[in-house]
A and B are shown apart, each in its own frame.
Chain A
Amino acid sequence: MTDPTIKRIETVLRKPAVIFGAGAAILLLVTALLALAFPLYKPLLSSQFSFSMIVLAVMLVLILSATALCILFERKIAGFTQDRYGPNRVGFWGLLQPVADGLKFLLKEDIIPRHVDKPLFLLAPALALAASLLGFAIIPWAGQVRWPWMPPDAPPLSTQVANLNVGFLYLLAVGSLSVYGVVLAGYASNNKYAFYGGMRAAAQMISYELPLGLGLLVVLLVSGTLQLDQIVQQQAATGVWNIFLHPIAFFLVLVSALAEANRAPFDLPEAEQELVGGYHTEYSAMKFAMFFLGEYAHMITSSALIVALFFGGWHFWGLPGPENVTWWAMLIKLAVYLTKVALFIALFMLVRWTLPRFRFDQLMRVAWQSLVPIGVALLAATAALTYLGWQRNVWASLAANLLLLAVLLRSAARSKRPVTARQEDLPEIDVRPTT
């Protein structure tokens, strides 16, 4: 059946030497072009605004290609967890799968069902993609840099698209825009599955915004600034990452970030077994892909945020610190930052393929009856520490965290509720073992 020429191309592409050779060739070509064109863009590198624009272009391309690679990586991890191969037909190790997927999405028919609200139906995927690509603007990718040709007393440039003084409030604001894409998709589709998915997503995303905000408030009390580059510099200056000060706050932010990104175990809005596809049931071709791109871009941005807030951003012990603003230090910092983000993405994926999905009542209970009270208690404890001037003291912070954990464990142990996942209004069942 299959055309022998196609068969031959497939076989060639599956050879590792071909794939890696082509990759190396492209990399060499790009490097050579960049080196040749250097005099053209050298003046652009020296001013903050034009440098920010370059950072914008580079990071946008990087994030979009990373989303494509992430999808392959996710399927590989899924394959690994379920003891199968995952994609391995297109190119060596399935490395060309993202390209094939992208082409197929583009060439498929773009169906717009009859009963949809057409303007909103088209707006929803655009909004989902655009909102999730806005957040990375304030991430301080590689600290500060001063080029060799700049005068030694010139202020170093920051490798950020925008150094906003409202800092991560901007990220919070932009991040909550992504709920509109999902809700509009559910509403516009005029499909019951999509509608329920959209409603669930709305309730979930707004519920988990509160623990996220509370966790961020704790970091804010520790650092006293909203600017991410200063938060990272503080951690780099002391060598103490915020995770060592406030592990519980990190947990709150991590769980909320998973929920905000609609990732498992919080993927109820698109629970296949009950809602077909959830809010994107009626979407096909590229519009469907836009939701996916948005989800993965959101995941990358929130990983980058968590790394900046809790894991010292580009800082690693023994590597160049904030006082080193040379260009090679910038590259090392960028590599460190991206490695940390990649590790976080891998964690997000492992969580997805390890934990079962929550039920809706459990989801709401976790948000309102566990995470919000924990967040408020942690906030009060951190406020007391700050009042005493101990907010950057590791032992005081850890003691407060441990105390809170002890109180939580004790209240959990004293609780009369049986440890079960059953809904509370169902009749009691006999849990004694049958003999």
Chain B
Amino acid sequence: MGLSRNAFGLAAGGFEAVAVLLTVVTALAAAILILAHRIGPRRHGAAKEDTYESGMEPIGDTRRRFNVRFYLVAVLYLVFAAELVFLYPWAVLFPRLTAAANAPEPHSAQRLLEAGATPAALLVAVGVFLALLLVGFIYEWRRGVFKWN
């Protein structure tokens, strides 16, 4: 495909286009903000620039303590997101490895086989990994972390 390929047959490159896109999109957002700020009329007023809370006088500041459960969700998310991040490389390699193990002729993932990785070992490893997380998940479930009443 005209792109350089590394040992695992993956095409490399393309991030320079992402850099251009990032620049274009950031410039677009900034341009819209500035343009809207310039074009629109500006008339100040005490009541107009007050916080809108359905006509009530705002009571105190907003940024105070809030429900601790949001924090729990964030912690849980971190645990599971870390799990998913570990699973992605496995999910890319595992089908290639089984294909290489079953193929009669040398396969693109041959180097992994030569390095001593077997499909069975990878399956067991991820099984143990998932089982450990499942224990934690069941514990949280029983503790009622997921109940939001």
B37 in contact (CB, < 8 A): yes
The answer for the CA separation of A113 and B51 in the assembled complex, in Å, is: 7
A213 in contact (CB, < 8 A): yes
A112 touches B134 (CB 8 A): no
B14 touches A162 (CB 8 A): yes
Known: A137-B21, A285-B36, A369-B146. A191 touches B123 (CB 8 A): no
Known: A134-B22, A165-B11. A106 touches B91 (CB 8 A): no
Known: A106-B36, A165-B10, A387-B123. A191 touches B62 (CB 8 A): yes
Contact with B along A104-133 (1 / 0, CB 8 A): 011111111111000000100111011001
Contact with B along A284-298 (1 / 0, CB 8 A): 011100100000000
A115 touches B51 (CB 8 A): yes
Number of interface residues of B (CB under 8 A): 75
Contact with A along B42-76 (1 / 0, CB 8 A): 11000011111110001001110011001001101
Taking the nearest CB of chain A, how far is it from the CB of B93, in angstroms? 8
A203 touches B73 (CB 8 A): yes
A286 in complex: contacting residue of B3, B25, B36, B76, CB < 8 Å: B36
Known: A137-B18, A206-B74, A423-B149. A214 touches B36 (CB 8 A): no
The answer for the CA separation of A206 and B79 in the assembled complex, in Å, is: 12
The answer for the CA separation of A125 and B119 in the assembled complex, in Å, is: 47
Among residues of B, the one whose C-beta sits closest to the C-beta of A212 is B84
B117 in contact (CB, < 8 A): no
A126 touches B29 (CB 8 A): yes
Taking the nearest CB of chain A, how far is it from the CB of B144, in angstroms? 10
**Residues of chain B contacted by A226 (CB below 8 angstroms):** 88, 92
Total of A-B residue pairs, C-beta within 8 Å: 232
List which A129-174 residues lie within 8 A (CB) of chain B: 129-130, 133-134, 137, 144, 155-158, 160-165, 169-170
A106 touches B39 (CB 8 A): yes
Known: A163-B13, A220-B91, A368-B146. A286 touches B80 (CB 8 A): no
List which B20-47 residues lie within 8 A (CB) of chain A: 20-22, 24-26, 28-30, 32-33, 35-37, 39-43
A163 touches B24 (CB 8 A): no
A155 touches B130 (CB 8 A): no
**Residues of chain A contacted by B13 (CB below 8 angstroms):** 163, 165
**Residues of chain B contacted by A360 (CB below 8 angstroms):** 148
Main SS at interface, chain A: helix
Taking the nearest CB of chain A, how far is it from the CB of B124, in angstroms? 10
**Residues of chain A contacted by B74 (CB below 8 angstroms):** 202-203, 206
A207 in contact (CB, < 8 A): yes
Contact with B along A205-225 (1 / 0, CB 8 A): 011011001100100111111
B29 touches A60 (CB 8 A): no
Among residues of B, the one whose C-beta sits closest to the C-beta of A113 is B49
A290 touches B63 (CB 8 A): no
The answer for the CA separation of A158 and B24 in the assembled complex, in Å, is: 21
Partner-B contacts on A (CB < 8 A): 48-49, 52-53, 56, 60, 105-115, 122, 125-127, 129-130, 133-134, 137, 144, 155-158, 160-165, 169-170, 187, 189-195, 199, 202-203, 206-207, 209-210, 213-214, 217, 220-227, 276, 281-282, 285-287, 290, 360-361, 364-365, 368-369, 372-373, 376, 379-380, 383-384, 386-387, 389, 391, 423-426
Known: A199-B67, A386-B98, A426-B149. 4 other contacts (CB 8 A): A130-B28, A162-B18, A194-B62, A207-B77
